[in-house]
Amino acid sequence: MTRSERLAFLLKLEPADRKRELATLSEAEQAELETHWRLWARVQQLPPPGDWRTWLIMAGRGFGKTRAGAEWVRHVAEADPRARIALVGSALGEVRAVMIEGESGILQVSPPGRRPAFEPSLRRLSWPNGARAWLYSAGEPETLRGPQHSHAWCDEIAKWENAGNRAEMAWDNLLLGLRLGERPRVVATTTPRAVPLLRRLLAAPTEEVAVTRGGTKDNADNLPAHFIADVRGSLAGSLMARQELDGELLEDVPGALWTRGMLETGRVREAPPAVRVAIGVDPPASSGGDACGIVACALAGDGIAYVLADASVENASPERWARAVAAAANAWSADRVVVEANQGGDMVASVLRAAEVSLPLRLVHASRGKSARAEPVAALYETGRARHAGTFPLLEDQLCGLIAGGGYQGPGRSPDRADALVWALTELMLHRTSAPRVSMA
C-alpha cells in the first residue's frame, strides 16, 4: 500500500479504529504520518468546501486558529511550486514570532525534510520546491501595494491598526495584488472584535467569504486540563469571556454613547508626550461592592486626550484602592487626581492622603446621572479628540453599555471604570484653564 493509499485508508476510519491502526505502524511510519494534518485536525480547522475566496476563522483563544493557518500555508506551498504567499500580521514582529517561529507557526508544523528556509533580512520563506512567502505588516499598508501573490494568510485581523483606516487599506492593497494562479485565496484568522474590516467580511456573500466560528472549549483535548477552568473562573459572566473564549462578536447596544467601531477607529499603539495627566477615580461605596474605577488619561501637545491605563481594582478595601490610586499617579506622573466624592468627601480625601497621594486632589460631586455626565465626553470621541492608547476590554465594555438619555446595559452593576474615565477626561478637556501667555508689551 502506498503512502497516499495508507493515508486515505486511515482517514476513513473512526478515531478509535484509527488510533489502533496507527499503533501497528513502525516508528518511521508513525513519524511520517504525524505530519499529515488531515489525520489530526478537527473538521473546523480544515478548509471548508466551496469556491470561496476568503476563509475567515473567527474563534476564541486557544481554538487552534494559528495551527490551521500555518497548516494551510504549508499545504499550499508543498502542493504548488509556483505559490507566492503573503503573510500579514499586525506588525512584522508578530508575523515572525507567531506565524513563522511560534509553537504553531509554519516552521514548527513543517516536516524537517520539507521545512522552508527563513531569511529574516529578506522577510522571506523559501520552500525546497520553489514556493515562497513574504512577511508584511498591516500597519504599513503601502508595502502591499505592488507585490503580487497567489495566496495569503492574514493573522489577527481584528488587531490590525484602525487609525487612519489602515486595516482596510492593507486588506484592499492585498486583494488588489492577489492575481497570480488560477484561484487566489486568503485565510484570515482572528479573535473577534467589532472592527470595520471584520464587519465587512461578515457582511460579504457566503460564496465569497466562508466563515468558521468556534470557542476555546472546542480545543479542550489539546489544552492543559486546568486552563479552561481557570480562565472561565476569572472571566465568569463577563463580556470579555464571550469575546475572547467563546469567539462571539459583541454587537453594539442600541442607543449606546460609545460604539466599538468608534473606539477602534481612534485606537493608537501609544500616546504622544503628555502635557497634563489626570487620574480619574470612582470609589466604591463599600469594600465588598463595586470595583474602584481608576483610569489614567493624558492631554498631549496635539490637543487630543489619550486613555493611558485602566488601573481599577476589584473588591478592595479603602486602603488598598487608595494605594492603587497612589501607584497610578506615580506611574504616570499625574498632575491631578480627580475623585468622585459623593460617598463622603472628607473620608475620600483622608484615605488618599494616608496613602501618600500628595498630588492636588479635586473632589467632584455628581449632580447628574452617569450617562448625562458621559455625553460630552462621548462627543470628544466622535470628533476624534479622545483616543485609546492600547486596548482596555473591561473599561470599553462599560463605555459601550452607557445609554444616551440614561441607563446602563454593560457588565457589572455599575460602570465604575467608565465613570473614572469620564472624570479624568472632563478634567483635561472640558475644565481646562487658559494657557499662560507672555505679554510683549
Model pLDDT for residues 31-87, shown as the tens digit of each residue: 666 677 887 788 899 999 999 999 999 998 889 999 999 999 999 999 999 999 999
Q: Which three cell numbers stand for residue 435?
A: 494657557
CA distance 112 to 195: 39
Is the full-model pTM beyond 0.75?
Answer: no
**β-pair type (209-214, 274-282):** unpaired
List beta partners, residue 88: 136, 154
Q: Which domains does the chain have, with CATH numbers?
A: 41-239 (3.40.50.300), 260-430 (3.30.420.240)
Kindly state the average pLDDT of the residues 236-240. 58
Confidence check: pLDDT of 438 > 50: no
Contact call for residues 57 and 70 (beta carbons, < 8 A): no
Contact call for residues 201 and 209 (beta carbons, < 8 A): yes
* Nearest of 205, 34, 171, 53 to residue 108 by alpha carbon: 34
What 3-state DSSP class applies to 107?
A: helix
Confidence check: pLDDT of 228 > 70: no
pLDDT of residue 386: 97
Which residues, at least 6 apart from 348, have a Cβ–Cβ distance to it below 8 Å?
Answer: 283, 339, 341, 363
